[in-house]
Structure 1
Amino acid sequence: LVSGFSQNNQFPQQIAPACEGKLFQSTNIPGSDLLSLQAASSEHCQVLCSAHPQCSYFSFVSNDFTCFLKNNLNGLTFEEKEGVTSGFPARFCQLSNDWIERTHEGADFRGSDIRNEQLDNAGACQAKCTKDLSCQFYT
């Protein structure tokens, strides 16, 4: 089982220099959840936070691929927690797209299916997804 993303970059591009957003490994920012979404990585979660106008920070839980978008800068507290990565949006620079190129062994991106096809390998599945403009990710 392998999952990944279409190589057609469908995320908003900003006209700004590239930057590397600061991620805090093994760190949770508790409370103030705005929205929870599925994400493939902490970098993907940062992109989702950066695209949401009300997101002021996020926490990504790696064991279940959950991205918690948060909104409340008052009383911001950090706690050490294994398997959680937190960070802030990067709205004023172009984030790296390296996370789009990675595949995820053993991960099943559930839901939002547009079609089911049997292919020989993950590379063929990624190529098929990339050719289809309505496809954002595959498993």
Structure 2
Amino acid sequence: MPTIAFDCSEEGCESKRMRACYEHIFDGLDFAGDDIHQSVVEDEHICQSNCTEEPSCQFYTFVTNESHSKDKRHTCTLKKREKGTPSAITVLPGVMSGFSLRQCGINNTGCAQNLAVNVDFPGNDIKSVLAPDANYCQKLCTEHKSCQFFTYLTRDWNTDHRRFYCYLKQNNEAAPTIKNKLQNVVSGYSLKECTTYSSCFRNIFPGLDFPGNDYHQYRVENEHICQRECTEEPDCQFYTFANGLYQNSKQR
């Protein structure tokens, strides 16, 4: 599952800081040696969480179901080295490796950054709003005072008219109900408890129009300048740029 990360290296971001954590999980790479602890866990994300929660762990390797060594499948090996980096990196099908997320301010219960693709959290709706992608839906959930988790219907949703719908949800009594294998939906959690969360959102969405709500229009060279103009205009919240492929040549 993909993870959300905010890059605030350009103008308009509230926070321009370097993230000390590294969230990527490397499929097919083994961090050989440097072992400090080994256990059997369900998947690589739990292995990553175990490394994060173990004060000594700096990185880890998880053996997947695809490994030829059947007796080692689902083995999570936590690792530590004085220099903080693996002493050996090898290509090995059937394993996944990564680093502790302690510097991300992430813990297993308070901050869940992963997005679950083709997974629905049915019911518990507070409200529905429109969002151009699942990451922005997560941002809306994070900034809503009551939202705990969400389900987003992607641009490929074709069951009915509700594509781009972002359902904000709350259930103070329990975790969300999980419905697997529902195509073209993405679900996830609020990032309120994540110490690294930034409200900056830099994504530009090719081929999407935000129709209506216009209050100013003028010509600029490209979408990045349009984004900057919106950032510098106190009243602007979002924008649409008509590029060279737009059907109305007068509005390109």
TM-score, length-scaled by structure 1: 0.75
Larger gyration radius, structure 1 or structure 2: 2
Q: Residues 122 and 74 from structure 1, CA distance in 2 versus in 1: closer, same or farther, beyond 3 angstroms?
A: closer
Which of 12, 18, 23 lines up with 1:8 in the alignment?
Answer: 12
Superposed CA deviations along residues 40-94 of structure 1, whole A, max 9, x for unmatched, are 2211111111111221210111113221101224662323222111011111223
Q: Does 1:106 align with 2:106?
A: no
Shift of 1:29: 1.2
Unaligned runs of 5+ in 2: 1-9, 16-103, 107-111, 156-162, 241-252
Distance 1:8 1:111 in 2: 23
Distance 2:134 2:186 in 1: 6
User: What residue is the counterpart of 2:126 in the other structure?
Assistant: 34
Distance 2:199 2:14 in 1: 11
SS at match of 1:129: helix
SS at match of 2:224: helix
Q: Residues 95 and 77 from structure 1, CA distance in 2 versus in 1: closer, same or farther, beyond 3 angstroms?
A: same
Alpha-carbon contact 1:47-1:95 (below 8 Å) kept = no
Letter paired with 1:108: D
Distance 2:226 2:164 in 1: 21
Calculate the aligned-residue CA RMSD, in Å. 2.8
Q: Residues 7 and 135 from structure 1, CA distance in 2 versus in 1: closer, same or farther, beyond 3 angstroms?
A: farther
SS at match of 2:186: strand
Which of 135, 143, 147 lines up with 1:55 in the alignment?
Answer: 147
Q: Does 1:43 align with 2:135?
A: yes
SS at match of 1:31: coil
Q: Residues 43 and 74 from structure 1, CA distance in 2 versus in 1: closer, same or farther, beyond 3 angstroms?
A: closer
Identity %, equivalent residues:
30
Shift of 1:21: 0.8
4+ long deviations beyond 4 Å: 17-20
Note the 1:59-138 alignment, pairs <5 A: 59-63=151-155, 64-72=163-171, 73=174, 76-93=177-194, 94-95=196-197, 100-138=201-239
Distance 1:124 1:75 in 2: 41
Structure with more relative contact order (C-alpha pairs < 8 Å, separation 6 or more)? 1
Q: Does 1:21 align with 2:113?
A: yes
Alpha-carbon contact 2:139-2:199 (below 8 Å) kept = no
SS at match of 2:127: strand
Equivalent residues, number: 129
